[in-house]
Structure 1
Amino acid sequence: MKKLIFSLLYVFIPLFVLGQQQNDIVFSQANEAYNKGDYNKSVELYKSIEKTGNASVNLYFNLANSYYKLQKIAPSIYYYEKALQLAPGNKEVLANYTFAKNMRIDKIDPLPKGFLSRLYTKLVSMFKVDTWAWLSVVFIFLFAVCFVVFYRAVSSQQRKVFFAGWTFSIVLSAFCVLVAFLTVTNKKNNRYAIIFAKEIKIQSEPNSRSEKLYTLHEGTKVKLLEAVDDWRKVKLSDGKVGWLPQKEVKAL
Structure 2
Amino acid sequence: MTGVELPLRGNVTAGVVRVGDTVRRPVGPWTESVDALLHHLHEVGFPGAPRPLGRDGRGRQVLEYVPGEPGDPAGTYAPAELASIGALLAELHRATAGFVPPAAAVWQRVIPPDGEELVCHHDAAPWNLVRSPRGWVLIDWDGAGPGTRLWELAYAAQSMAGMRPDRPVRESARRLRVFVEGYGLTGADRPALAGLLGRRARAMCDLLQRGARDGVQPWARIHAEDGAYWRDTAAYLDAHVAAWTAALS
TM-score bracket, normalised by the shorter chain, equals under 0.3
How does the TM-score come out when normalised to structure 2?
0.26
Structure possessing the higher radius of gyration over alpha carbons: 1
Higher relative contact order (CA 8 A, sep 6+): 2
